[in-house]
Structure 1
């Protein structure tokens, strides 16, 4: 196995400032850093007057997951995806459920070292149709993710970005030229929430969503984690779903997922299933064709139906597929209405398995 790594990898999305600092231009934080300082993400910093990446070639771990766990319901259903991330994040969400990874300031937490070629070869050896950049946001390990995506494409493996979409226009365009699918975490539909709960801004995320939908061929799905009392009001859900319909179109799948208390947001209760089902009903009422619920067991809310005739197209019980009524070209087998997405003639049969992987081995 090739384990070539680079501890300090050069980057190009930065600019020198007159006062001697270097400004990172990868994301809308625009961290201005003196020699030796790191950005909020912690994995990008000023070394020798230039912004470098400290996590290139280093991962917090690898796991083969069902693609539906990303969540992606319209992208190669039933197939396994090799998932990995690094450390750090460019947002500061108080409810982060991967905080031990995303908020780690110890690069020693990155247990696995792997070249892009090793990751791509492992995905192919394990029968994965795609690799997912996830657990923390791939925006901050931009150069590593792109190198992995290029190695994967050379081997016929697709790339999936699981991201909050908090990125500047130039690196965004560069990044998504190499991605085949994305699930963007639209954390709420208010600047107040992004500022108070996430330490960021809503507008750049909306710009990323519109860019993906209008200017790329990347398959797009959206996830919103509903937190009781913070982003789950009928008014906000109505505004969010109308925006998705009007600006992105009714065929973009929207996933509403359940919150559980974690990290710094421990004073909110878990999301009741009724809240997720209410959100799904609002989305469907506002004209979205595909709205799902997640982090709860609800076969109806996690299955795919024809928006024209109501036919069950893809039945799901958790992450396991139990019905498939699409034609080989991805249309309803009853009325012929196309179901948007990236489908193969037959679904995968990976099921709900989760298989941790150490590169160089084929099993846990």
Structure 2
């Protein structure tokens, strides 16, 4: 019997190993002609290329969709930074010929250095306020910011002694008569007041910018907040007795159930919405006195709430738990003015569209007449 022809078997195996066979051909053991093999190879490469292009196209489409998805279900912008081009309405027209209109803005920037990296200057350039109050600046030294130094010749910083904490500053195109950083009669000014208060005296009114203390996690600092409220109310009364007051900034209180998304869940449990804090705010607006106490102190008005008695608009949305996307906010930043000054207020708006450079939105007030 002639020996087996192993060479041909080896050659066949070699051809099978080197040929790009389909799985069906491999399973059947059939060889694939070279022309058919090349055709299948080209077809596979074509399908792979098409699949790759489709995958890339889908990826680009998803990326574009994500970049355009900058609004939440409640139509609130959810940018991670502010856009370059911001459109701000012009000032209201003066109701009295020859009188100025002054635009004042308050904004908790949640750290000026961080905000500067997220489009801070784009908003300031677009809004171009006459006076700007910044709270929670968290600066340790007076920074040099071209957008601030080029616009505001008068700049006043109250910096906390604790590094990276609190901080209040006012920038003005209008020179004040006097500036103060103190809360008279407070027993611990360096520990509590430092970095939280700037008062500017103008010819016709006082402007008080504050970053009011927070009652703290589990209300551990509520007693500190209560002490602040006692001395601050007294301070405002003394100022208001001489000329009208504009009090603004992050007041760290939600005055009513309309001023936060979940009032029942937070009542007497969360800083900013306790009976102690809301009652103190009400007393500032409407002092509890009798005629026997002598001359009656003037009332103050929460301007935005007076103009919008039924609306739920917020100025603060925690970065945690996607609160902005869910519309879970608090109205903590506001303008409170002497009642006799209300008739001069032309506008008061929450800049809800300004989101991305801080976890707070700015609030704007326009006032008729010279300061």
TM-score by structure 1 length? 0.36
Report which structure shows greater RCO (CA 8 Å, sep ≥6): 2
TM-score by structure 2 length? 0.36
More strand by share: 1
More helix by share: 2
